[in-house]
Structure 1
Amino acid sequence: MRNTKPQLSFGQIWNMCFGFLGIQFGFALQNANVSRIFQTLGADMEDVPGLWIAAPLTGLLVQPVIGYFSDRTWTRLGRRRPYFLWGAIFSTAALLVMPNSPELWIAAGTLWVLDASLNVSMEPFRAFVGDQLAPRQRPTGYAMQGFFIGVGSVVASALPFVLAKAGVANTAGPGEVPDTVRYAFYFGGTVLLCAVLWTVLRTREYPPEVLAGFDDAHPPGTLAVGDAPVPSAAGGVPWLLLGIAGVALVWVMEWDRMLLVLAGLPLAYGVLRQVAALGTRGMVAAIVGDLHAMPVTMRQLAVVQFFSWFGLFAMWIYTTAAVAQTHYGATDPQSAAYNEGANWVGVLFAAYNGFAALAAVAIPWMARRFGLRATHLVNLWLGAAGLVSVAFIRDPQWLLLSMAGVGFAWASILSLPYALLSDSLPAHKMGVYMGIFNFFIVIPQLVAVSTLGFLLGHVFGGAPMRVLMVGGVSLALAGLFALRVSRPLSERARIRGVTA
């Protein structure tokens, strides 16, 4: 007899996803304002990507570890909810500290704490949907998360602009963050904590033994019991040699030191393989084993995620500088024109998140009508067109139209890859695999961090708008690779039912 998860009501899905409103409030304030804070505290534009390294690096380190432990956790609060709560508490504290940083290094350090804490909360939320919902409802669950991400980001991104219109000071002395940004961070910390508390207190979780008994607990082609075998240390040697050669080349040729981050990626993987081979039962060995044995669908999606998140990171880092320079004729972070442009970027980021909230309502219908892969392709191409168009629109008001395409892409990136992936993951490893999947989000960000500053200064002539165009091309490539992803089991079953 099939033991299928019961279908949850709209209200139950709402409650389990509501915490994402607060988490994205924190991410949106970070994405729209951190470059501004760094430049205000004296960072050069070419140095900004290096200061952003905290964001992808903490995700790379934190998410698989949190996924590993949350798979093995069971407390009075459940399996995933303890991580929601503690991540929210530390994120709130970081949001209160960051806009008051007296020095650049303090702001950069606070970004590490903020991003790590947000990742502690966010990673289990992805696994939470896989735990609680049957495969047929997962696209709706991830789309609901996308809706709350959109709503939270709209308000958070627009806050400095709204506060400035309300009369709050939008400029400050040298090395001081304007009150509009400070008050926005205070409000955001409060919203984050309250939203996550709502989900923690208004939801329940299946105990591990109940979860293991559902019919979607062990998809075909996955390991039903035990851990994946640990790959040999010998397989890591080529990666070690590649990384060492890259580091040496950057050092000898005296290239931009940020390229060391790029060289460090294969080096780090080679070291990880050696550490994993030393023990067959530890956390590192388990994560490396699962990484090596990842489902085929995850391997296919890795390429899609790489180009998607490279494009997004280019947008987050350089939109403020690009719009201020191109549309407001300003490069001085202390000038009124620059801060006016920076506030308008906040509005634009609010707009694309608002469009994402609307798209989140449409995406489940699109996915049922056209399939997950084709829907993702269309949305990514809309985002590519929107990002490239920023370079050709001269009236900043019309940039809102560009953000419509970006919003559809953003909503799709936040939902459809997870819907494509979740059907292929075993229930007892949902957390660790969602954490490993984050590798393919943060690795492109690390590549962006290590290369975009170099490209800006040595290839693009200091024009940040050209970086945005590269981001648009990257989104277009991601859409093409989406067609290579295997259809999920639930979609294949539906197609067979229609054609039978």
Structure 2
Amino acid sequence: MKKRTLGFWEIWNMSFGFLGIQFGFALQGGFMSRIFQTLGAGKDDIPLLWIAAPLTGLLVQPIIGYFSDRTWHPRWGRRRPYFLIGAILSSLALFFVPYSSVIWMAAGFLWILDASINVSMEPFRALVADKLNESQRTYGFVVQTLIIGIGTWVASNLPWLVSQMGVSDSADVGVVPNSVKVAFAIGAFVFLLSILYTVFTTSEYPPEDMEEFERERKKKSSFVSDIINNVGNMPRTMKRLGVIQFFSWFAFFTMWSLANPALTEHVFKTPAPDKMEYNMSIQEEKEAFDIANTSFQKASNEVGSAMGVYGLSSMAFALLLVLYTSKRRINRKFVHMAALITGGVGFLLMNIVTPEQLKYCFILIGVSWGSILSMPYAMLSSSVDEKKMGMFMGLFNMFIVIPQIIAAVGGVNFISGLLGDEAINAMTVAGISLIIAGISNLLITNKSAITYQPS
């Protein structure tokens, strides 16, 4: 099918739902560890509590990709029904997660939240490939990244912002502060509203041959066998991109799960207090705990705010790419390699920065994040069968979730433990991993993946 060239605002409208998706991911990534610590989790327990996120992605994204490829509704299209269902469930989970009273409840909400976000996210990736011709795909994924950057920055600053507006950071032992509760409620509202905006402003192309589409859809086939067959026939470029994705997402999972304990302890010198070290029946001890806990919560706000800067710098990086790729082609491989190495340096610098300098580390990390959200998908979309775009986008998620699972079940604790007991060592591991990911771009040799070549 000949796809017409879309204007900026059409691409913006079809990508706008990612603002809400990123509100969900930024609040989850920036503050779930803080919630776990508030409820009493130790820093070594946190990665395993995070295992819900990659496991749900591993299960949900290929399934949603498979079924969205086989969906067509005259009014709602192929991908949009999944956006909407995921948005409703995600908004409910976002609202209730900070009201968790025990660790297992917070972990359960994380399962629900991440599964729901994945229901919305995977079809958004496929929609770009569905709607845009080959020459516009880099541009389309970069516009998505621009919106993601906006969402990351705003959402990461929400607890700090509502705290500045007078909402309390103090709370009883084991209770999440009101500043976090209000921030998550705002995130739930933005998530649903932004998805609805895309659903009602964006149309989708129908299948090129409806009769053939219906025959394929009704063909008796096993979902599991189809998945296994497509894994076995995975394009070589996709496998090589998988190596890059493995080290990239190992690094970012390490950041999301352990940046708060690492940076509050090493940079701000205000680790989460252990209530077992305080005798709560003695007033002075309780007051000392409350002071230490409030200091930790405020430092966590600052960490979240600093993390938000990576969304801002990824947005700036994406904007530069939008302006450039709207008129010219780029070498995706070398852009991605340079961006990942830049982010790796940002992680390594966390060992020596002051609280005031921390934002500069996240500026560098944002460059890599902006590239991670666009370049691999642009390279992948030039390397796979368009009729199976949803399926392959879902399978590509394996290279995102497997490294996170490995990190969660002890990988990051083991590797960082080789460097010592300090929490900041986890950020060093993230930096080294991201640099390896950057160098791994040298594996990509497919010319179409590296730079779109018009026929």
TM-score, length basis structure 2: 0.90
1:361 aligns with 2:319: yes
CA distance in 1 between partners of 2:137 and 2:316 (Å): 18
2:135–2:452 CA contact under 8 A, matched in 1: no
2:22 to 21, 24, 30: 24
| 1:4–1:488 distance in 2 versus 1, CA, 3 Å | farther
Aligned 1:330-409 pairs, distance under 5 A: 330-333=270-273, 335-364=293-322, 368=328, 370-393=330-353, 395-409=354-368
CA distance in 1 between partners of 2:149 and 2:86 (Å): 20
Q: CA offset at residue 459 of structure 1?
A: 3.0
Q: CA offset at residue 462 of structure 1?
A: 2.7
CA distance in 2 between partners of 1:153 and 1:493 (Å): 29
CA distance in 2 between partners of 1:191 and 1:421 (Å): 30
1:296 aligns with 2:211: no
Match of 2:55 in 1: 57
CA distance in 2 between partners of 1:212 and 1:15 (Å): 30
Q: CA offset at residue 453 of structure 1?
A: 5.7
Match of 1:41 in 2: 39
1:37-60 per-residue CA deviation (whole Å, 9 max, x = no partner) reads: 011111111111111000000000
Q: CA offset at residue 326 of structure 1?
A: 1.1
1:354-384 per-residue CA deviation (whole Å, 9 max, x = no partner) reads: 0011111123566656500000011011101
Match of 1:475 in 2: 434
1:272-297 per-residue CA deviation (whole Å, 9 max, x = no partner) reads: xxxxxxxx921010011001101111
Matched letter for residue 438 of structure 2 = G
CA distance in 1 between partners of 2:300 and 2:246 (Å): 28
CA distance in 2 between partners of 1:12 and 1:282 (Å): 37
CA distance in 1 between partners of 2:317 and 2:416 (Å): 36
2:227 to 287, 290, 310: 287
1:306 aligns with 2:246: yes
CA distance in 1 between partners of 2:451 and 2:79 (Å): 30
Say what the alpha-carbon RMSD is for the aligned residues.
Answer: 2.2
CA distance in 2 between partners of 1:126 and 1:203 (Å): 14
Q: CA offset at residue 490 of structure 1?
A: 7.1
1:324–1:337 CA contact under 8 A, matched in 2: no
| 1:45–1:11 distance in 2 versus 1, CA, 3 Å | same
Matched letter for residue 479 of structure 1 = G
Matched letter for residue 336 of structure 2 = H
Match of 1:199 in 2: 198
1:307–1:478 CA contact under 8 A, matched in 2: yes
Match of 2:277 in 1: none
CA distance in 1 between partners of 2:329 and 2:63 (Å): 37
CA distance in 1 between partners of 2:426 and 2:68 (Å): 38
CA distance in 1 between partners of 2:185 and 2:447 (Å): 42
Match of 2:255 in 1: 315
1:135–1:490 CA contact under 8 A, matched in 2: no
Match of 2:8 in 1: 10
1:373–1:487 CA contact under 8 A, matched in 2: no
CA distance in 2 between partners of 1:352 and 1:391 (Å): 17
Match of 1:277 in 2: none
2:408 to 434, 440, 449: 449
CA distance in 1 between partners of 2:452 and 2:315 (Å): 29
Match of 2:67 in 1: 69
1:329–1:337 CA contact under 8 A, matched in 2: no
Structure 1 residue ranges without an equivalent (≥5): 214-224, 228-279
Match of 1:266 in 2: none
CA distance in 1 between partners of 2:421 and 2:270 (Å): 14
2:417–2:425 CA contact under 8 A, matched in 1: no
2:332–2:451 CA contact under 8 A, matched in 1: no
Matched letter for residue 345 of structure 1 = V
Matched letter for residue 410 of structure 1 = W
CA distance in 1 between partners of 2:440 and 2:367 (Å): 18
Match of 1:166 in 2: 165
Q: CA offset at residue 328 of structure 1?
A: 2.0
1:55-77 per-residue CA deviation (whole Å, 9 max, x = no partner) reads: 00000000000000000001230
Matched letter for residue 200 of structure 2 = L
Matched letter for residue 40 of structure 1 = T
Matched letter for residue 80 of structure 1 = R
| 1:170–1:488 distance in 2 versus 1, CA, 3 Å | farther
Q: CA offset at residue 336 of structure 1?
A: 2.5
| 1:365–1:491 distance in 2 versus 1, CA, 3 Å | farther
Percent identical: 45
Match of 1:269 in 2: none
| 1:190–1:409 distance in 2 versus 1, CA, 3 Å | same
CA distance in 1 between partners of 2:131 and 2:123 (Å): 12
SS of the residue 1:328 aligns to: coil
Structure 2 residue ranges without an equivalent (≥5): 274-291
1:144-188 per-residue CA deviation (whole Å, 9 max, x = no partner) reads: 111111101111100111111111101211010001100000000
CA distance in 2 between partners of 1:180 and 1:375 (Å): 39
| 1:73–1:173 distance in 2 versus 1, CA, 3 Å | same
Match of 2:286 in 1: none
Moved more, 159-168 or 76-85: 159-168
Matched letter for residue 232 of structure 2 = H
CA distance in 2 between partners of 1:35 and 1:8 (Å): 40
1:249-271 per-residue CA deviation (whole Å, 9 max, x = no partner) reads: xxxxxxxxxxxxxxxxxxxxxxx
1:23–1:118 CA contact under 8 A, matched in 2: yes
2:246–2:437 CA contact under 8 A, matched in 1: yes
Matched letter for residue 170 of structure 2 = T
| 1:490–1:396 distance in 2 versus 1, CA, 3 Å | closer
Aligned 1:206-225 pairs, distance under 5 A: 206-209=205-208
CA distance in 1 between partners of 2:118 and 2:404 (Å): 15
CA distance in 1 between partners of 2:89 and 2:108 (Å): 14
SS of the residue 1:483 aligns to: helix
CA distance in 1 between partners of 2:356 and 2:270 (Å): 17
| 1:370–1:130 distance in 2 versus 1, CA, 3 Å | closer
SS of the residue 2:374 aligns to: helix
1:421–1:488 CA contact under 8 A, matched in 2: no
CA distance in 2 between partners of 1:211 and 1:140 (Å): 29
Match of 1:415 in 2: 374
2:142–2:374 CA contact under 8 A, matched in 1: yes
CA distance in 2 between partners of 1:337 and 1:482 (Å): 42
| 1:115–1:490 distance in 2 versus 1, CA, 3 Å | closer
